[in-house]
């Protein structure tokens, strides 16, 4: 093999390595960007609200509270076997909440539901799997995300 052929082979291998490395970086960047978008983005501050001790949202409304805000959750079973949830808020910005997201917390992956704002609170109705152990409530505005975990009642 002549030296010019060896030089061309070297450049071809380097180019192939750079293309492969760039494709890996691009995939990782896209995965991280999608993860950030799904979890509130990196530019938003997150506030965790802590549920009160002995919380049973089916028996009585339960509160999760933080420094300057609180969520109140009420849950009840419908005749169809679905769970109706109402979430009230205190101490949040009066305007500019982007929305509420309710995530079921089973032993496996999370399943999310969008809540609808009506009659002064966020409301949702959804079926529960037997392995569901809790509900994560997320409220968002342009700058912050508030997250609270609540236990859920067992179905009858």
Whether 32 and 57 map to the same domain: the answer is no
Other Cβ atoms closer than 10 A to 69: 18
Whether 86 and 142 map to the same domain: the answer is yes
Whether 107 and 128 map to the same domain: the answer is yes
Whether 25 and 94 map to the same domain: the answer is no
Distance CA(153)–CA(80), nearest Å, equals 16
Q: Is the pTM above the cut of 0.75? A: no
Q: What is the pLDDT along the chain (156 residues), one digit of tens a residue?
A: 677 888 899 999 999 988 888 777 776 766 666 656 555 555 567 788 888 888 888 788 888 888 888 888 888 888 887 888 888 888 877 666 777 888 877 755 566 777 888 777 888 887 777 677 788 888 888 778 888 888 876 655
């Amino acid at each position: 093999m002549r030296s010019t052929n060896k030089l061309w082979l070297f450049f071809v291998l380097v180019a192939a390595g750079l293309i492969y490395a760039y494709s890996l970086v691009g995939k990782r960047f896209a995965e991280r960007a999608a993860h950030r978008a799904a979890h509130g983005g990196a530019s938003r501050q997150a506030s965790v609200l802590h549920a009160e001790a002995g919380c049973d949202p089916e028996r009585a409304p339960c509160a999760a509270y933080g420094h300057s805000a609180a969520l109140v959750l009420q849950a009840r079973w419908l005749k169809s076997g679905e769970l109706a949830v109402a979430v009230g808020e205190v101490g949040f910005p009066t305007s500019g909440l982007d929305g509420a997201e309710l995530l079921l917390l089973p032993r496996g992956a999370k399943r999310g539901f969008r809540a609808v704002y009506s009659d002064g609170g966020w409301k949702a109705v959804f079926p529960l799997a037997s392995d569901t152990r809790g509900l994560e409530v997320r409220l968002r505005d342009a700058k912050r995300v508030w997250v609270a975990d609540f236990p859920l009642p067992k179905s009858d």
